[in-house]
Structure 1
Amino acid sequence: MSRRVVVTGLGVRAPGGSGAKQFWDLLSSGRTATRSITSFDASSCRSQVAGEIDFDPVAEGLSPRQIRRMDRAAQFAVVCAREAAADSGLSFEDIRPERIGVSVGSAVAAAMSLESEYRVLSDQGREWEIDPSYLSPHMFDHMVPSIIGAEVAWTVGAEGPVTVVSDGCTSGLDSVGYACRLIQEGSADVVLTGATDTPLTPIVAACFDAIKATTPRNDDAEHASRPFDLSRNGFVLAEGAAMFVLEEYGSAVRRGAWIYAEISGYATRLNAYHMTGLKTDGREMAEAIRVALDESRMDPTAVDYVNAHGSGTKQNDRHETAAFKRSLGEHAYAVPVSSIKSMVGHSLGAIGSIEIAASLLALTHQVVPPTANLHTPDPECDLDYVPLTAREAKLRSVLTVGSGFGGFQSAMVLRRPEEAAA
């Protein structure tokens, strides 16, 4: 029989604050953390806005060696992992190390370090032939995404299954889904999981500029991310990370742990259609939702809140709206739906985990975070997208979804422990 999986610890770093409390304060107040890019000279970019994090690795407790060794994305992951481990109250040294696993998601991994090293080696791109004598001794770590999983594993002494999931913008959902499976099948008892991405580099920004996926609303950075609004014109690139402690339900109950939620259902699908395009009917996302609900043994009417992908592109918002109608039926018109990307931007592979964190905190506080900057809804997005202001609600279950380049569509159901037990 499949074992039940619960979340007992979380750590988050997102634009606008440090830690879970500041993150939730931002979301529940409906404030935005997007701003003009400061991490590099973006004057030549089409889109010059981002969700940046004011992150001090020294203040976060990282040693000089760790800071030198780790890319910013790995630093985020380790700091969040430490926070999640502490929040869980688990004594990891009392657990057999081979029963502790790690699953981390990332879309672009060490993009910042790779770009900065290339700039040094090529003398800012002026030299075609590079001089390897200038190569960083940690370049191999930056080239191999698996190092992020290793760094997190070293943090808690995990010697069980360790992996990095990289499938674009659903990485943060799929890494947690994979971690859940490890516990369900008995391969691990505890898994540290989540995702991290720091894509705020000239090359990554230029890639999204080229396909016009990011917003050119540079004169109003604070309100540039506008999911489901008629005036939306692209997403806001961001950075961030979130990590969680997952463990078997019975073990968590026996030790008296605080349980944020049970992961009662998860599924992922692919549209096999186009690298960036989406079919208008939302069939593949709807199928992922259907399977996740079936695994949860839930009727669609039992969904109390939908944490949407809500990137702020017309194609995605309309596709997602169609998927909700297809999978939830008439209940799609009654359930509150919102996008936190309106406040913290889109951190690529990390955002799925950050949205899981938002969903867990919504269940904890019984509040639906709003969709900021939603003043004029797109008539084709005619669901209850909770504009501007957070809403108190009785939440027993949350559906959180993700959509990624390549056609990836993922869905996860989170339930309050008493609801899951019933």
Structure 2
Amino acid sequence: MTTRTYLFALVDGGGTVPPELRIVRRLVERGHHVTVIAEASMIPDVAATGADHLPWTTAPNRASRLPEDAYYRDWECRNPFELFRMLLDHQFIGPAPGYARDTVAAIDTVQPDLVVCSFFAVGAMVAAQARGVRFDVPFPNTYLLPVDGMPPACLGLMPAHGPLTRLRDRIVRRVTLRQWNKGVARLNALRETYGLPPVAEFFDQVHLARRHLVLTSREFDFPAQMPEHVRYVGAVLDDPDWATTTWTPPAGDEPLVLVALSSTFQDQTACLQRVIDALAELPVRGVVTTGPALDPSTLTAPDNVTVVAAAPHSAILPHASAVITHGGHGTVVRALAAGTPILALPHGRDQPDNAIRVSARGAGITLSRKSSQRKIADATQRLLDDPTFTDAARRLGAVIVRDADSGELIAELEALEFGGART
């Protein structure tokens, strides 16, 4: 095996961090030299991988995952257009010059064979291209970019199946691309700074990658006509390092229900309390993990529900009969890999898409995050009573485990002699 040098330019996207850093750990374990540019909120997680760490200095450097350190408060958006402005100004285009400067400096120091850029780090992609270094973009979820056959992202839509739904997709795609393309002028100004020609559309920059590595199973995503540089390489099923604590099942024989909403703050406290109150009505043992963004003491739990900041889901899931989640990709694929049906309460981002893929395969139920305590209790009981949900979860989970164990992810990253940089 040829030893490579990799540079990862990562942005703290919450649930995207654990799979991205598990890639880093696997490359380090295989003897490669890996450096990670990451925010202060990620320092303990980066240290656990064994990779070298560089801080973002001119780019944003989030101190923690607490809501007061968020760059923007997407949970307060009143409409999609306001969200687009926030994303462009505070996540993608606004900080792009800083990401580019820091990544150029890191490339000049590290001299990597490949740069792996967070989807959010558009400036890092510009830097890699400017320095003539190939870059890959991991997608720790389903495929998010517009492609023929795939419903528009983040809306929880089923694929088009007739003239009306195909028209729906064309209209939604046109509207959303118009919003993204409002960032093209600033993106091209940055590209000009580094001597690069302009792009026509915002996502053209992302498509200049050598590979898009989709960290899920093709069978979990909806079928579509994918570009040649897209690779489905299987999910990363490891627990995040912050959750590798010891765990003992609560006493009793009642069905165990795992509750995990989000590792980042999405204003989920009220929803989580309704879930806990719903479990209080049922003959179950509830285990709630709040993650690093929410203090467990803010929640009130009955005797049959245990609330902790963190616990390894890999230890809990073999005991679980159902999972209640916001629909984050990491929690969803780990639940399915364990053959556990899911009640999804999407809060936003890519979560509606994950939820519709679960319910479309019969492996779970999707409700609004604003659902009442009674609806949540009824849906949970239905998952426990109807074995067809568990059967479907096991079928889909077997595919997810197969693909996760395939080795295709690392094989793609190591195969640098194939597939030159896109121009």
TM above 0.5: no
* Category of TM-score, reference length = shorter chain: under 0.3
The TM-score with structure 2 as length reference comes to 0.27
The TM-score with structure 1 as length reference comes to 0.27
